[in-house]
Structure 1
């Protein structure tokens, strides 16, 4: 056989192996292509981007170099899902768990936000703060019209529970709709509400975070990877487990979230819970167990002391 042809065959075989398994130091650099935020105001994914960067650093010795690229396309969640399936436009995203994504993509079922986005506090207009202060039951809470993104899994859970849900596909417009009184409550993850109120403060100075109620909707954020990129999925899982074991994961998590966990004082609020048909709670704990999830009955200040800088 011609030597150059033989060399080409060996090279093509080598590339094929790189797509199937990880070879330390040998294969071409991994390329993670992630989603673009919905708008310049949307900062929901910053923590997941930083975590992914640390996962890559943690696995360099095993998997070799890698890069992260943010697509320049702003896509709806449904379009992102389709793009993840073929792995062309993006190949990884951190997203709330749901059955379709779990079956048609590669999930890494480690809840990277420890379930805190399932503790929903309400952004409201200041004029309605006494209204929520007097809520004593889930039934009373459900009588208040509430807002949600049209493709959010929490929308499905709230509608199934009996909430009157007003929807919008546009992230920014939900805050405008709340300001105009289209709905009274706007449930946001405890990791989202405070920074969003601060971000929109100039446009909507009347918006505040309610101090009295927390609605628990089981929710987990997983990294989802295109089925065409199993190597990337394996790398994320290896890196996550390693960071959890060596403490780097908790350090990043609490440095990002302690401010909001302490401000929210979840352990002092009236807590109501509804089910989420899109989330399998046993899956949330299948790898790390229940103790990995944040316990809202605990005092966040005592937990955060060891992670916050003096």
Structure 2
């Protein structure tokens, strides 16, 4: 059995399936996770739900567990400091980062199959024609791009020559784009379409470009506080089990097929840039290359299997 402790910010987080909520005091392991950055930020829900499956798969040998979501919204750098201490949060799903790799316990299984590395661009509707004329990487690089200040994709884009306009605040980037501070706002295909829907009442001029796909090797790993090796072992073992029994792919495709189909990757102009922070060999060291998303896959057939 699993506990998910409800908090005001995440009132929509609920016990699913056969799970029974029990008092937190009975839990053997407590997974303390970061909250979303705002009420519009749904990026972490998949990571909470995946951890639910991990715990279910390891109940027999590790015992019952609880997931707690912190009340404190924090920047990525503060999340790192909190993880080092292991009090407020002790587990977080985050993009691969050398500092995090060295000072925390990384579980190097890319839990989003690299999907966030396939970047489409949110743009102003008046700039659709500009993007339609982009046929080379140098033309794309010449357009000012927006990014979170602490995002790993920012380093890759800067290394490739992009001029990146930054903000530390997630919501503010959409306002900056609408105000014309930059032309392109690269988002993973698992993010862009949902964000357009979430922000359309505030920024009806924003759309997803349907021409370009930028591939940046990106991995999201679970990172665990250095004083919690048991939690790290449980996560890695649980991930291996649900990958082997098919439950990982079931959850992944149920949550991502809409975006995979909408992105129409096979009909886009694709540019790939290197990521100085991520090694593709490292991404596949535990799970193999076939685990990652292949943009040439027939997602229509694949997604029918999981719906």
- State the TM-score, normalized to the length of structure 2: 0.91
Q: Does the CA contact (< 8 Å) of 1:97 and 1:221 recur in 2? A: yes
- Verify: 1:55 aligned to 2:54, yes or no: yes
Q: Does the CA contact (< 8 Å) of 1:36 and 1:73 recur in 2? A: yes
Matches within 5 A, 1:288-307: 288-307=287-306
Provide the aligned length of Structure 1 versus Structure 2. Answer: 282
Q: Does the CA contact (< 8 Å) of 2:28 and 2:65 recur in 1? A: yes
Residues 62-120 of structure 1: CA distance to partner in whole angstroms, max 9, x if unpaired? 10010000011111101111111121110000000011111111111000000010000
Aligned partners of 1:299 and 1:119: how far apart in 2? 16
Indicate the residue corresponding to 2:261 in structure 1: 262
Aligned partners of 1:284 and 1:71: how far apart in 2? 28
Indicate the residue corresponding to 1:118 in structure 2: 117
Q: Which protein has the larger Cα radius of gyration, Structure 1 or Structure 2?
A: 1
Indicate the residue corresponding to 1:83 in structure 2: 82
- Paired residue secondary structure (2:262): helix
Indicate the residue corresponding to 1:191 in structure 2: 190
Aligned partners of 1:302 and 1:100: how far apart in 2? 40
Indicate the residue corresponding to 1:180 in structure 2: 179
Q: Does the CA contact (< 8 Å) of 2:27 and 2:66 recur in 1? A: no
Q: CA deviation at 1:267?
A: 1.4
Aligned partners of 2:27 and 2:210: how far apart in 1? 51
Indicate the residue corresponding to 2:5 in structure 1: none
Indicate the residue corresponding to 2:45 in structure 1: 46
Q: Does the CA contact (< 8 Å) of 2:103 and 2:226 recur in 1? A: yes
Indicate the residue corresponding to 1:135 in structure 2: 134
Aligned partners of 1:287 and 1:124: how far apart in 2? 37
Runs of 4+ in 1 over 6 A off after TM superposition: none
Matches within 5 A, 1:209-288: 209-288=208-287
- Paired residue secondary structure (2:60): helix
- Paired residue secondary structure (2:278): coil
Aligned partners of 1:28 and 1:184: how far apart in 2? 49
Aligned partners of 1:303 and 1:212: how far apart in 2? 23
Q: CA deviation at 1:299?
A: 2.4
Which stretches in structure 1 are left out of the alignment for 5+ residues? 1-26
Indicate the residue corresponding to 2:100 in structure 1: 101
- Paired residue secondary structure (1:286): coil
- Paired residue secondary structure (2:295): coil
Residues 230-286 of structure 1: CA distance to partner in whole angstroms, max 9, x if unpaired? 000000011100000000000000000000000001111100011111112211000
